[in-house]
Amino acid sequence: MQESDKLQRKKAGIVFNIQKFSVHDGPGIRTLVFLKGCPLRCQWCSNPESQAGESELAYNESKCIGALECGLCLKVCSTGAIMAKDEKVMINRELCQSCGKCSDICPSNALEIFGEYKDVNDVLKIVEEDSVFYSRSGGGLTLSGGEPLLQHEFVYELVKEAKSRGLDTAIETCGHTEWDNLEKVCKYLNTIFYDIKCIDSDKHRKFTGVKNEKILQNFQKLARHFSDTTIIVRTPIIPGFNDTREDIQAIVDFIKEFPNVEYELLSYHRFGESKYTYLGRNYPFSGVQKPSEGCMESLRVVANGVSQG
């Protein structure tokens, strides 16, 4: 990577969504900034547009007017990635460069680019539009993804500047990063949401694509070095992966020695399934149903062992 590219990535990050008025990802009312790129490939991922570290073209066929009735995207595509087949628009993703010309001209918003470079001031300008809500509720900025720490230089500059402006800051991380990156950023965070999906490393690799040794080691360092920071461990409950009492008990046993750590369970859902189609991918968990409320209640009883331990 050339020096100019390195400088750009430090000063700017590639963002695929900024969501306002969240009340589930930190104290108070918050603005979530979603960054692209993730080292994991969780089979149940609800944000598939977050996985790749570069911009991607999404195509929602149900919104498309049609290749014959419209066809504007075919005319502006310079790589031949957009074609007509049976009066419908088709995308050759091997040829697509995600330049955005087609999405800019699409009258029905059937084409959309996920991922846009924004610098620190670009992001904070949007975040600070709701500063009145933060001051009243104790809210602020939460970084999510993907994995924000894949863009650790940008994240560091962003949270450092956010803190200097008096904003409450939080991050959602899977922990699969170098310790130095995590430590540097966490100095400017009020709350850390840390995913621990399961303790069994081989099973972790089977369902996410990576082993979990680095994740667990980073968590232990984090809990010891940042004992005054709110750390909330989260586990998404995924049927067939970690939905037994034994799975959750193993996580409880691993984290309960740290008094500054809270623990919560999240139920699997299929809200992101349609986005796989928009990106030309298959959803690995197609047909899998969310855990029953009885299952979740049983697992929450086990999870409560953290506070009691």
Please report the domains of the chain, with CATH numbers, ordered by start residue.
3-54+115-308 (3.20.20.70), 56-114 (3.30.70.20)
Whether residue 234 contacts residue 26, with contact meaning beta carbons closer than 8 Å, is answered with no
Report the pLDDT averaged over residues 162-170. 97
Tell me what pLDDT residue 308 has.
52
Query: Considering the chain, what is the average pLDDT of its residues?
Result: 94
**3-57 per-position pLDDT tens digit:** 444 445 557 999 999 999 999 999 999 999 999 999 999 999 999 999 999 999 9
Enter the DSSP assignment of 111: E
Please give the Cα distance from 1 to 150 (Å, whole number): 15
Please give the Cα distance from 264 to 303 (Å, whole number): 7
First-to-last C-alpha distance (Å) of the chain: 48
**59-77 per-position pLDDT tens digit:** 999 999 999 999 999 999 9
